[in-house]
Structure 1
């Protein structure tokens, strides 16, 4: 709904709602067999101008902001459909930029903290996925001679309830053992390695095995190993999936009317 088309809509609401308990002054005159009716609208027009100048910009800004929040909920609902158990980080990628009386525009935008290579961008437009921070870290820190483009969790990786290999726990231990932590002080030392004797160890094979991160079971016989992460030199290519714009206009058109009525009623109740 444009602001222009909203103008007549707002006037109808104001005219029907304003001064419900205070009728406009009128007059009835008798003359022969004729009834004449007049209405003094000066006070109403003054109240209307005052309402338009003081309350209406704030009411419209509030209605736009609440409608944008409704659209954001619609986007979150789409995420639940197209993604498998989207994590909080994914759903929090967008926010509402509030409308103001001086700027009657509300927006659903990416949070400032979202990077330019956030994975939702490629989920929206499709195409090759940029490397994640974890993939870049392994590519720069591991003693691995091959080309590392993508890291895929293996069947033996300990995944969280969302199906991801979380940075804490086992993945963090593997990075420490492999001397691949972002902070060198977090890497395993000779002393900590000695203390960890008998526990599971981690390694990247130089040859003979598919490239990846492996775990050797504690005190296991030679060859008792499990793959935790698979290295690939292929760049994953996505089809457009998110549908950020799908249904957004229809949802806005659906809620803006009730949101305007709600905001105007509030403005009328607080008008002085």
Structure 2
């Protein structure tokens, strides 16, 4: 008959398991944070796949709040995402695009309706990402005398320099058949009011002039759900959290001198 003598230090094992129980919240937090980092990376990849040439600003639009042992929750969401006006929320949830800052100024000036949105026209100067340059927007708002509503004194003046700029291109608002006179409107009767609602540019040449649309006012811009934010996050959680938890647990067991099977090392 074979006799086996097995010796073990029960007190040491009990101590190790006690330490494991104490450290388990840290293990969970680490696994959650590992998963959150992968979720953020996956969301950036989803943006690149969903949007046409997204800007660096958009790709940096996410913020991660990490878990700790007392709060086992990590959050990956939009920076300033508590505001319903965040421009990416309609892409995630569907709905109307919120007003951009320059659109808010146009609305406050009475030049655009609140339910309208401004889309670039043929004369809009777009950057590599398809967005209007800030310089042209500033010039438009200045000429339309709209900046006083934004707390700025950058409106066009009667100075020689200001007049020289307007001699090359002059911006005005067409009201689409409505007879309206006033700030930013066409000042020479209603003969140009057959133009679509929006901001137009009048270009002057030695032989005459021409007008082109810069911004066209349209009734809202409603988006369907394009950016599958929730689905992307859930796929990462389903595929990766268990693996991250097991890896973090194995490291903790090794640190305490235990194996994953619970036997003495």
Question: Do both share a fold (TM > 0.5)?
Answer: yes
Residues 134-173 of structure 1 correspond to what in structure 2 (within 5 A)? Answer: 134-141=102-109, 144=111, 149-166=116-133, 168-173=134-139
Residues 57-206 of structure 1 correspond to what in structure 2 (within 5 A)? Answer: 57-112=25-80, 115-141=83-109, 144=111, 149-166=116-133, 168-181=134-147, 182-191=150-159, 192-196=161-165, 198-205=167-174, 206=186
| Contact 2:92-2:225 within 8 A present in 1 as well | yes
| Contact 2:112-2:217 within 8 A present in 1 as well | no
Aligned to 2:210, which of 210, 224, 227?
224
Partners of 1:187 and 1:257 lie apart in 2 by 59
How far did residue 210 of structure 1 move? Answer: 1.8
Partners of 2:107 and 2:62 lie apart in 1 by 30
| Contact 1:128-1:238 within 8 A present in 2 as well | yes
Instruction: Give SS of 1:202's match.
Output: strand
Q: 1:11 corresponds to which residue?
A: none
Partners of 1:155 and 1:89 lie apart in 2 by 25
| Contact 1:198-1:219 within 8 A present in 2 as well | no
Q: TM-score, length-normalised on structure 2? A: 0.77
Partners of 2:114 and 2:239 lie apart in 1 by 51
User: What is the CA deviation profile of residues 41-88 of structure 1, one whole-angstrom value per residue up to 9, with x for unaligned ones?
Assistant: 4213312322331x3322321221121111121122222222112223
How far did residue 179 of structure 1 move? Answer: 1.1
| Contact 1:135-1:148 within 8 A present in 2 as well | no
Mean Cα displacement is larger for which, 62-71 or 181-190?
Answer: 181-190
User: What is the CA deviation profile of residues 79-106 of structure 1, one whole-angstrom value per residue up to 9, with x for unaligned ones?
Assistant: 2222112223333333222111111122
Q: 1:25 corresponds to which residue?
A: none
Instruction: Give SS of 2:71's match.
Output: coil
How far did residue 36 of structure 1 move? Answer: 2.2
Shift in alpha-carbon separation, 1:259–1:38, aligned structure 2, 3 A? same
Q: TM-score, length-normalised on structure 1? A: 0.75
How far did residue 229 of structure 1 move? Answer: 0.9
**Matched residue pairs, number?**
236
User: What is the CA deviation profile of residues 224-266 of structure 1, one whole-angstrom value per residue up to 9, with x for unaligned ones?
Assistant: 222111122x122222221111142221132223423443465
Shift in alpha-carbon separation, 1:180–1:149, aligned structure 2, 3 A? same
Partners of 2:112 and 2:232 lie apart in 1 by 47
Report the aligned-residue RMSD. 2.7
Shift in alpha-carbon separation, 1:267–1:145, aligned structure 2, 3 A? closer
How far did residue 269 of structure 1 move? Answer: 7.1
Partners of 2:135 and 2:142 lie apart in 1 by 11
| Contact 2:46-2:227 within 8 A present in 1 as well | yes
Q: 2:194 corresponds to which residue?
A: 208
Q: 1:40 corresponds to which residue?
A: 8
